[in-house]
Amino acid sequence: MQTSISEVSILTIIISTLLILVLVGMVVYYLFLYQQKRFLHEKQVQELHDTFTQTLLQSKLEIQEVTLDHIAKELHANFSQLVSLININLSTILPHSSDEAREGILETKSLAKQLLLELKALSASLNTDHIMHIGFIAALNNELNRMAKTKKFNVTFSKTGEEYRLRPEHEIILFRLCQEVLNNIVNYSQAELVTAALNYQEGLFELEISDNGIGFDAGEVTKPESGKASTGLLNIRKRAALIGAEVMIESAPGAGSRVSIRIPSAATT
């Protein structure tokens, strides 16, 4: 009788243990399903956020391009015309001017001519259709030449590899990105030497822009949460993300700066 009771107790313990194990297994399984669903949900939310952010940035850039095109047309149609009229008026006045005034008028005509050339160059750099027509390399070369003409910078530009075109919309974004880089150099670097180097490889486009200026703490100014974050450098990264480009910004106080851009073959035509 005692043996029978012992067997029943053992059997009860075994069944209870199995039931507990089954319950634990079910709890673990449902926890796993919950974590998996939570992970998928968070992933979907992040993807939606990234898509929204990218779409918003793309919209901002499209609006910016429309605005720049409008400014470019205004510069070409109105301001350039006004400068041309000033030059014509000066030419009319010149024959009737005294010898003393003649030199000043000629100098003013020269300045007006230079201003007209600068306005045309600026208008071209803002005009999206013009950039798409002449291509990224010619547009970048024009920007570098404008820098060189200021006599403040010694500019070098080199290319290696067999040249090819990127997608037109990518060339526009890349050019605006380069304008941002060059604008930072002009305004903040105090550099004397600016170097741009293009490297065309099969399946990879590389561009490097460097200067010998005062430099900056790259770690601080590229952190969004940093109080010293540079809006220009953050915009460079955002623009690069739109075309699948990898951007490396290297700099240190007193050591100049270097911006490297790499675009994989998926971004090329």
User: Tokens 């460079």 identify what position?
Assistant: 236
In this prediction, residue 210 has a pLDDT band, given cuts at 50, 70 and 90, of very high
The whole-model pTM stands at 0.60
CA dihedral sign of residues 214, 220, 224, 226: negative
Among 116-130, 206-220, 233-247, which stretch is predicted with the lowest mean pLDDT? Answer: 116-130
Within 13 Å and on the Cβ side, how many CA atoms surround 161? 14
pLDDT (average), residues 39-50: 65
pLDDT at 38 over 80: no
Token couple for 74: 């205004």
pLDDT of amino acid 82: 73
CA distances from 35 to 22, 27, 41, 225 (A): 20, 12, 10, 30
Q: What CATH code would you report for 136-269?
A: 3.30.565.10
pLDDT of amino acid 29: 79
Sequence ranges of the domains in the chain? 1-126, 136-269
CA distances from 72 to 10, 54, 65, 244 (A): 91, 26, 10, 28
List all residues 6 or more positions away from 139 whose beta carbon is below 8 Å from its beta carbon. 125, 130, 131, 171, 175
pLDDT in tens, 164-178: 888 888 888 888 889
pLDDT at 200 over 60: yes
Q: Do the beta carbons of residue 261 and residue 179 sit within 8 Å?
A: no
Residues present in the chain in total:
269
Strand partners, 197: 158, 208
**For the range 219-222, what are the long-range contacts, defined as Cβ-Cβ under 8 Å and sequence gap of 24 or more?**
222/249
In this prediction, residue 44 has a pLDDT band, given cuts at 50, 70 and 90, of low
pLDDT in tens, 2-23: 456 666 677 777 777 777 877 8
pLDDT in tens, 51-107: 555 555 555 556 666 666 666 666 666 666 677 777 777 788 778 777 777 777 777
Task: Give the Cα separation of 93 and 95 in Å (integer).
Answer: 6
Cα 186–190–196 angle (5° rounding)?
55
Q: In what order do the strands lie in the sheet with 154-160?
A: 154-160, 193-201, 204-211, 257-264, 246-251
